[in-house]
A and B are shown apart, each in its own frame.
Chain A
Amino acid sequence: MGYTISAPPHIKSGISFRSINTAKILALIPVSLASVYFFGIPALAIILAAVLAAVITEFGIQKIFKQDVTIKDGHAALIGLMFALLTPPEAPIWIPVVGAFLAISIGKHAFGGIGSYIFNPVLVAWVFARSSWGNHMTPLSIPNLGQLSDLLLENGAGLLVDVSPVLILIGGVYLVYKKYVEWRVPLVFAVTVFFFNQTIAFFSAVFSLVQEGVLNPLMYLATIFTFLQVTDELSYVMIGVVFFGILFLATDSPTSPVTKNGRLIYGFACGLLVSIYGYFGNYVDGTLYGIFLANAIAAYLETKTLPSMYGHESLLERSYRRVVKRIPSSLKFEVVTDE
């Protein structure tokens, strides 16, 4: 009687590429349903056309090049669905078809398939379609958060994804909670986008005081409180497409760095680029172009943040120790670590 022999480990976690994609698709189902409810049949047609086109394209490419057909892992369907959500509902039906075809053929397979592409395929297709058929791809309205009910159902939605920020948030947070998506990139991204506006408000308050010629230092000190006031610009940030960018586009694993510090910096870079675009332009185009540009520096960030030798002090630890050394021992409360 024979026994199987193999190298360890002999058990592996149940998670697979397929289950990750399935979870992401499931997380996007609520917002897709909401868009169908809001926009009606055209939205449904766009979603179905994009998903079908993406799957058929992947099947065709892998058949032609005699590769293993991988449509079962759900990645093609996910790309199609994500592209459909970034399309305005008025777009003619051939836009999602061409977009999904471009995403799969140029965005994914031309660069070498899963794990090898450098730009998020969805964004590649979106940037292409946006610059080629601007009249079809420009949303009719740019949403902004007027009242709280807009969070649940946005009346000014221009793209399918804009209909409901809350449903996207729920889906995305579920993914992070279940660890299908790593928390570093979305968290830093969101924090950066939020504080960018607050920082601008803070500096403009200081500048206006300087221009008025105020000399009272307390007045300057009081401007710190502008950080706590929610600025008007934030209402342009709380829209579906920004949440979608934070939770679904930026967290696409092949286009973000693998190192821990790299992911933090990447999240910051995404936030900064999106905010600059969004603050001076609009947050719909800003999110998508911003993340697209951030993808370009992901590989650079990864090679620049390779972890040092295990047990070596990082720059932060070194400087901390230098500061602690200067403190006289009578003031120290720290625990003695070793004799």
Chain B
Amino acid sequence: MESKRLKKIPEQVVIPLKQHRGTVCKSLVKKGDQVLIGQKIGESVSYNSSDVHSSVCGEVVAIEDAPNPDGNKVLSVIIKTTDSQETVAFVPKQNPSSEELIAIMRDAGIVEHYGAPTHTVIRPEGKKIDLVLINATASEWIGGKYATPREYATQMLDALKLLIKASGAAKGAIILRKDDKESIEAFEGVQVNGKTLKVAPLLGTRRLGHYFKDQGSNIIVASQERIYGKNILSFFTHNVTGRKVPVGCNPTDVGVAVCGVKSAKALYDAVHEGKPYYETVITLEGDVDCPNFMLVRIGTPFRDIIEECNFNGEIGKIVANGVITGVAQYTDEVPVTKGTTRITLLTKEQVLRDESLACIHCARCVDACPVSLLPTRLAVLANQGRFDECRQMHIQFCIECGRCSFACPSKIHILQLIRYAKSAIENAYEDAIPKESSNLKVGCCGGE
């Protein structure tokens, strides 16, 4: 798979001081300071936070609120770049201990693509992790950073070993997608702990537990059907391990840590090269003239990436992180952050302008729902403001995958209505469960 590095260095980068769920970092630089590549510019001030590094050389021109791809404005460091490629000295670490690995994760600013800082996933406070999963189902393998498939496979397995060591877990697994033949071939036949790997398909009631016993190994690779939506961690965990995650909890509550390919790779780099997390691979979708995968510096504004790629036609909509659940951007000045996985460009003609009609009870949404809800009823109840009844119908189970809205022939905004009801319930009840993915708040959409 082809990939390339974004050649042009942007004139100005915007590095948000909060690229994770949690507290905003404290800025270590001030206006007028010179920074180098890899220099720490934001320090985490609490446990739920991760450091931020500069991705360019240049001069800090401002520290102010700037647009962020999640739709809100976030305190960001704005750096005017110079041509220099000077980096700070990277210090690799030989044979780090478990504690050191956690420290590396924090210092290198490694964050999961779904928002949680990796050290809070691997070493959650007051919980014990006994299984580490690398979810490689959504991220296409090479991801722009590997020369050969085999290199990808071995690095991922090394990264998994590091993660297992850091978490103190007994077992670990890498989950691939069934239709992703390239990755499966890459992993097939690799030697781990003196054993030859075989990619195990998750079929029927066979879950990871079966294959751990079957293969007699504590590291395995399995493949599963595609699950859409990157925030569906509880669903993913249940599907892969058979462990049920109670509503309002996350996989760490049942002893499972779910990491992404990107964070695993970032950890590998941080340990073996001493490099902090300042570059990421994103996918560009739409009618564009450039490779599928691009290695970009964190903080690069979308505009520079789009200019590099010669979009054919006029842009109607810019969507960050996938067309089903992603957020449409109101400006192209938003930067790439650690949570950005893809940018989709739609032309003016492709922008949907459907009108919602009456529900025809065709039950397509019911068939599409992966958690067996009745989206059609929930949408009607939410529309009428009957939130208590929504709650009785288990609206909190909704994983916001957006498949109901996608399938609806009457083009009803089911997902939006359900989110609205969930937010209202969250505000009304103290014991209500926070949403699993939250980038919409009632009363503040896309602004401050």
The interface of chain A, by Cβ under 8 A from chain B, is 1-13, 15-17, 19-20, 113-116, 182, 253-254, 256, 258-260, 263, 306-307, 309-311, 334-339
Contacts and interface: CB of A to CB of B under 8 A. Distances in A.
The B interface, classified by DSSP as helix, strand, loop or mixed, is loop
A306 B389 CA distance: 13
B415 A7 contact: yes
B181 interface: no
Contacts of B35: none
Contacts of A263: 363
Interface stretch (B46-54, B118-126, B293-301, B313-321): B313-321
B374 A7 contact: no
Interface in B300-324: 315-319, 323-324
B425 to A, nearest CB: 16
Contacts, number: 154
B63 interface: no
A337 B205 contact: yes
Given A11-B324, A260-B366, A260-B367, 4 more contacts: A10-B326, A16-B410, A253-B360, A334-B205
Given A8-B325, A8-B402, A253 B352 contact: no
The A interface, classified by DSSP as helix, strand, loop or mixed, is loop
Question: Which interface residue of B209, B325, B351, B363 has the most chain A CB atoms within 10 A?
Answer: B363
A3 B329 CA distance: 7
24 contacts: A4-B316, A5-B330, A6-B352, A7-B415, A8-B327, A8-B402, A11-B324, A11-B406, A12-B352, A12-B408, A15-B409, A113-B358, A114-B358, A114-B360, A258-B361, A258-B374, A260-B363, A260-B367, A307-B372, A309-B397, A310-B373, A337-B207, A337-B242, A338-B241
Contacts of A9: 323-325, 402, 405-406, 415
Contact of A10 (B204, B346, B440): B346
A253 B361 contact: yes
Given A8-B324, A309-B394, A335 B363 contact: no
Nearest to B446: A5
A339 B446 contact: no
Nearest to A311: B244
Contacts of B394: 309-310
A310 B357 CA distance: 29
Given A20-B362, A114-B358, A338 B243 contact: yes
A184 B361 CA distance: 15
A185 to B, nearest CB: 10
B344 interface: yes
Contacts of A2: 330
B6 interface: no
B371 interface: yes
Contact of A310 (B212, B316, B371): B371
A12 B330 contact: no
A338 B242 contact: yes
Contacts of B372: 260, 307, 310
B410 A17 contact: yes
Contacts of A253: 360-363
A12 B446 CA distance: 22
A258 B376 contact: yes
Contact of B406 (A4, A13, A16, A256): A13
B328 interface: yes
A115 B360 contact: yes
B393 interface: yes
